[in-house]
Structure 1
């Protein structure tokens, strides 16, 4: 990423200083430490010292207006090498996320995700107060922060919501300050939503579908339908297309194409990758599969590249996960495809139980069989139980690591046919 963008100024923690200098020795940018000073090296503290020029400072004008690239964000790289995503001023300056100067905000994500970048801008533009924690995620820490700082606006991953919902310290009194609870990235189970609504009766729940390149695409305000990603945001046009790029109708699953009134400036220094996702007619090929229900709500099914096959018949791990999440004894789940000769992918579930639950392997397998009767969607690989799933720092399950964990726990629990 440094080779692509060649930044002139870099801020980093003290522990990363030598690594950063080595990675950028081809053009030698200025590198400042931010965690603590390093003897003889520039520190952010030196930039806080007053000079005689502050009163003469004038911000650089946006010569291209709201379409101008004002930030470059590294994509997650879940479907290939990370790319440098150009973020326009219009995407960065979100003014429809229900924040103001009285908002006390918490988000686990850092600046490596668009949500973390937005949270930073909430403070700068709207005067919101953001609470930061250097501790890894735990529901106990979240409860403590909410109580201590009277947090009223929180954004979480569904997996984090599930952990909070089953945390003994999460009581209605402890969470009484919450007024907005947002989530995205995947679907929260009905069980989790019901429990959190009981704990936070004064909070509004919202979910969204977004991507780094375009920002918010849909919003499910109030979460009237838990499985839906919501309605398109103003300026967003969405198509569902088949493999031949024909538009599909309601309840037909295909790839989600998005056209935005906001101009996207592509991947910095990578016109080939830009052309692969942005077609000549201006449609962004999201790589996500979904459909519109009869009430015109978008439902996101899964990543196109995560589709699995049982004897040549497609199935989506997220669909099976959502069915398993219906069980109140399940706190979280990740479905993986175990490679099996002649079968291709045997669906298998890695499950985290609610503390104290006695749900069994057969309970889960039979529930999926009842709810998803087609042969390709059965748990041919069985179920393994674990205390926690492998998440990245932003609360997203790493499916490849989940498959490795499943196999390390003994692998297949049934004999796939």
Structure 2
């Protein structure tokens, strides 16, 4: 199959480039201004349905709520250099809080509800929010973590007696000629501050600019679409969902519970959901759900997944029930503010994360940071061609990940083939060595995933002073099946010839893998759990 020349390659610089950005809106408008104008166009259209709180908001109601919250912030005297804190689920009024911040040109700093008091204290001490929106579930923890900041704390649900209820803010009077504020720094100004995934240490406060690239991959959305993403505002996918539903006038379905595959399948059928943005482990949970085979999935037009790899076997199984070519792997990093590649060509390149989206460049470099050619393995580097304010309050780490020519060093190893498709193989830091032979955890994971009893797996290295990294695994079995650690070890032995890829370190069967708050498999945490189970230091 021939691919359209949407990607160009310069053999001299060994850089791949996509098409230039195309402005679908006035380039001078901020994200907040676009949302304000678009939400007024379809006032009687349903903007949002909460499946867990049983609420329905029209777009005119959502807009009114956002303006009331924005007016509350203005009455407090907040300015565009201030920061608003968020640590909450996808509740009825959370989107309005985000829009209010956009209308005022104030960045919000969003944290995951699973963060402990120590992480909340560290992260909010970086940005020092004057107002924090949280759920009553976490109110005491947030209050204790931010006592030195003494912010106003607004609860979104399960209101504490001494908190400010979101319902009080919705009563704030809106000035007669309310308009979004122009950004003092233009569209280079920070839109939001999101935490990195935290799989390699304490999460960083990642700034996201007012860039149109946040719309990449979603320009096909119309008023007929119904969107669902389980991510909250602490992850880039949650931010994408909140923004795109407002910009493209779609209907958004939300839920504020822990991810429930059965509930999602029910919502797809009930609301005829057309657009899904999920993590790979969500897809696995959906496939293994008892309701999966009985659910009509014909409404789904786009099912996008991102965050980590997904087994090819699982994707092929899902495609048997999903209509047409709707599964699309998206790849990027929080720091670039959106996905950098998208795979619209699963049938031709099923293992690829796709080609560059508009306005991006990519190159592959070796350990000396020299660029490599097509099909040569190295570190993936991305360039989004735009201003980045860096990690909030952390200049040194910002310089470590992005050089003076605006190239982000992702820490991922991969290659780009002759058609411009990127293949991401592994995290650079995940490389293991056994008897001085290099290998990667995913190579063993892909074998274990072929076992019919296995639902999920995480492989890591257990250090041996003599041999180096001995492969070990934490394995999740499918519901209702019997699986022993010995079965996994034997399967790898029978299906892998290389001695250095054997599960010499052992295996354990677990109910679920350890994950970061955003749902990514946390390799370090799974290794630590393995060591505890095995009674090793």
Match of 2:363 in 1: 239
RMSD, aligned α-carbons: 2.5
CA distance 1:297–1:363, change in 2 (3 Å) = farther
In the TM superposition, what whole-angstrom CA distance separates every residue of 1:78-117 from its partner, at most 9, and x where no partner exists?
2233221110111674143243322222222111100011
Q: Which moved more, 1:375-384 or 1:111-120?
A: 375-384
Q: Indicate the structure whose relative CO is greater, using CA pairs within 8 Å and at least 6 residues apart.
A: 2
- Stretch moving more, 323-332 or 8-17: 323-332
SS at match of 1:110: coil
* Conserved 8 A contact 1:220-1:229: yes
Q: For the residues of structure 1 that align with 2:138 and 2:257, how far apart are their CA atoms?
A: 19
Deviation at 1:144, TM superposition (A): 2.2
Please state how far the C-alpha of 1:334 moved relative to its aligned partner. 1.0
Q: Distance in 2 between matches of 1:308 and 1:74?
A: 27
Single out whichever of 83-92 and 352-361 deviates more from structure 2: 352-361
Which deviates further from its counterpart, 41-50 or 105-114? 41-50
Distance in 1 of aligned mates of 2:132 and 2:216: 29
| Residue pairs, 1:91-130, within 5 angstroms | 93-97=214-218, 98-130=220-252
Quote how far apart the aligned CAs of 1:40 are.
4.6
Contact 1:189 1:326 in 2 (8 A): no
SS of corresponding position for 1:345 = strand
CA distance in 2, matches of 1:40, 1:167: 41
Residue of structure 1 in register with 2:311 after alignment: 189
The match for 2:269 among 144, 147, 155 is 147
Deviations for 1:194-244, whole angstroms, at most 9, x for unmatched residues?
211111124611111111111211111142323211111122111111111
Instruction: Decide whether the 8 Å contact of 2:266 with 2:295 is kept in 1.
Output: no
Aligned equivalents of 2:439 and 2:522: distance in 1? 19
Residue 336 (structure 2) pairs with residue 216 (structure 1):
no
- Per the alignment, residue 208 of structure 2 pairs with 87
Q: Quick check: 1:153–1:179 contact (8 Å CA) kept in 2?
A: yes
Report matched runs for 1:5-404 at 5 Å. 5-51=127-173, 53-90=174-211, 93-97=214-218, 98-171=220-293, 173-202=295-324, 204-214=326-336, 215-224=338-347, 225-355=349-479, 360-361=487-488, 364-366=491-493, 368-370=495-497, 373=498, 375-404=499-528
User: 92-101 vs 224-233, which deviates more?
Assistant: 92-101
CA distance in 1, matches of 2:437, 2:245: 49
The 1:78/1:355 distance shift into structure 2, 3 A limit, reads closer
Count residues with an aligned counterpart: 408
| TM-aligned CA deviation for residue 325 of structure 1 | 2.7
Give distance in 2, aligned partners of 1:313 and 1:244.
Answer: 21
Post-superposition Cα deviations, 1:277-322, rounded to whole Å, max 9, x if no partner, equal: 1112221111111112343311112222222221233221123223
1:193 CA drift (Å)? 1.4
Most deviating of 138-147 and 336-345: 138-147
Distance change (3 Å), C-alpha of 1:331 and 1:18: closer
Answer whether contact 1:187 1:226 (CA < 8 A) is retained: no
Contact 1:109 1:393 in 2 (8 A): no
Check conservation: 2:190, 2:210, Cα contact below 8 A: yes
Gaps in structure 2 of 5+ consecutive residues: 1-122
Alignment TM-score, normalising by the size of structure 1: 0.89
Greater displacement, 23-32 / 312-321? 23-32
Change (3 A) 1:8 1:50: closer
Q: Name the CA shift for 1:198/1:55 in 2 (closer, same or farther; >3 Å).
A: same
Tell me whether 271-280 or 247-256 shows the greater mean CA deviation: 247-256
Question: How far, CA to CA, are the matches of 1:172 and 1:19 in structure 2?
Answer: 41
Separation in 1, partners of 2:227, 2:502 = 41
SS, match of residue 361 in structure 1: helix
Cα–Cα, structure 1 residues 23 and 136, in superposed 2: closer, same or farther, change >3 Å?
Answer: closer
Gaps of 5+ in 1: 413-417
CA distances 1:359-381 after superposition (whole Å, capped 9, x unpaired)? 733553135414xx4x4333322
What is the alpha-carbon distance in structure 1 between the residues aligned to residue 533 and residue 201 of structure 2? 28
Report deviation, 1:268.
Answer: 1.4
Write the distance in 2 (CA, Å) between the matches of 1:362 and 1:39. 54
The alpha carbon displacement at 1:172 in A equals: 6.0
Maintained 8 Å contact 1:178/1:202? no
Under a length normalisation based on structure 2, what TM-score does the superposition of the two structures give? 0.70
